[in-house]
């Protein structure tokens, strides 16, 4: 899959990594989640991203999941491996391994916690960008450091640059797209306007884990403003606590995954689950991954190390 083909993918799901009751990756359930994404017309997946809890996986688990997805689904979906890191050597090694295992593109992030200078960010990202096609992920709320537009403009000249997953809002996305720099919204609540008013290439979505068909409509049809408006409370609920707490809870409530959490994540409390239950209850069950909506009790959840 070349860069031009990758850029045609408008709905990319940051797929959840499910765990079984032993705390291991549940590949059987993962495959069921992926099949649902394909059924509803999703174009691609981010493997081991924030939503996929890549930061809670060891590299053996992380790369195994990339290899599994690429080899089983790479002919039907864009497979993007989150091989970025705040450690440049680690990012380079993981990115090389990810491409060797069949992923189509990498997702690269600037150094978090151990922040560096603008020059350091450029060299850090470029070191992995040299290996193969990659999206650059700008999420200042998590990294603590914005990748400034001047730096993105420089990185965009690299032959392996695919585009930016941008979380700094639609104004910036519009500015990038006007310069010919492809952007995917990292904010589900803004992605409809981003796509149809600001010319984004699409969205890398959390919400499409649970309602992929409705997110498909938002990306494909500019006349879905009422649907977009109706989904805003669900978007808000899915990010009421740091992602992926809410989407993990929601997929547990619909029966799509076992209600198993790896620390430091813990499920939403019953009162907040009730809010999500009420929001999901009004959506056609055929649109919901899992479909068997239940509030669940606190002791239905397992929290493991």
112 tagged catalytic: no
- At how many degrees (to 10) do helices 270-281 and 245-253 cross? 60
263-291 pLDDT, tens digit each:
999 999 999 999 999 999 999 999 999 98
Number of domains in the chain: 1
Report pLDDT for 279. 98
Residue 133 is part of which domain span? Answer: 3-224
Phi then psi dihedrals of residue 303, to 5 deg: -120, 115
Q: 216-263, pLDDT tens digit by residue?
A: 999 999 999 999 999 999 999 999 999 999 999 999 999 999 999 999
Whether residue 271 lies inside any domain: the answer is no
Which residue, 204, 68, 192, is CA-closest to 135? 204
pLDDT-derived band at 2 (thresholds 50, 70, 90) equals very high
Q: Is residue 9 part of a domain?
A: yes
CATH number for position 17? 3.20.20.70
Please pick, among 16, 165, 176, 217, the residue that the annotation labels catalytic: 165
Whether residue 272 lies inside any domain: the answer is no
Residues 6+ apart with CB under 8 A from 267: 245, 248, 249, 252, 259, 261, 273, 298, 301, 303
Domain contains 115: yes
Q: Is residue 294 part of a domain?
A: no
Q: What per-residue confidence (pLDDT) applies to 291?
A: 82
Residue 59 resides in a domain: yes
Contacts of residue 28, defined as CB under 8 A and 6 or more positions apart, other chains included, come to: none
102: left (phi over 0), alpha (psi -120 to 50) or beta: left
Q: How far is residue 12's CA from residue 10's CA, in Å, rounded to a whole number?
A: 6
Asked whether residue 100 is assigned to any structural domain, the reply reads yes
Asked whether residue 256 is assigned to any structural domain, the reply reads no
9 has catalytic annotation:
no
Which is the catalytic residue, given 137, 154, 217, 265? 137
Asked whether the beta carbons of 249 and 276 are under 8 A apart, the reply is yes
């Amino acid at each position: 899959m070349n860069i031009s083909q990758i850029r045609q993918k408008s709905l990319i799901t940051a797929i959840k990594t499910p765990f079984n009751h032993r705390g291991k990756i549940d590949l059987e359930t993962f495959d069921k989640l992926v099949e649902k994404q394909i059924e509803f017309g999703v174009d691609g997946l981010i493997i081991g991203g924030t939503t996929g809890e890549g930061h809670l996986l060891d590299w053996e688990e992380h790369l195994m999941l990339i290899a599994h997805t690429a080899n089983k689904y790479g002919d039907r979906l864009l497979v993007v491996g989150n091989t970025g890191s705040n450690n440049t050597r680690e990012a380079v090694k993981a990115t090389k391994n990810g491409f060797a295992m069949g992923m189509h593109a990498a997702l690269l992030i600037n150094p978090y916690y151990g922040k560096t200078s603008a020059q350091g960010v450029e060299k850090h990202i470029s070191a992995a960008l040299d290996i193969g096609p990659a999206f650059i992920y700008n999420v200042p709320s998590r990294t603590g450091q914005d990748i400034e537009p001047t730096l993105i403009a420089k990185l965009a000249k690299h032959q392996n640059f695919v585009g930016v997953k941008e979380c700094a809002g639609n104004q910036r996305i519009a500015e990038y797209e006007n310069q010919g720099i492809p952007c995917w919204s990292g904010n589900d609540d803004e992605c409809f306007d981003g796509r149809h008013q600001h010319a984004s290439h699409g969205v890398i979505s959390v919400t499409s884990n649970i309602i992929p068909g409705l997110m498909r409509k938002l990306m494909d049809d500019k006349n879905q403003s009422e649907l977009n408006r109706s989904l805003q409370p669900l978007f808000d609920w899915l990010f009421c606590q740091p992602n992926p707490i809410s989407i993990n809870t929601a997929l547990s409530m619909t029966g799509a995954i076992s209600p198993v959490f790896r620390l430091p994540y813990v499920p939403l409390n019953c009162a907040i689950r009730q809010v999500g239950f009420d929001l999901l209850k009004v959506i056609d069950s055929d649109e919901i991954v899992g479909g068997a909506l239940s509030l669940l009790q606190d002791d239905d959840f397992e929290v493991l190390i």
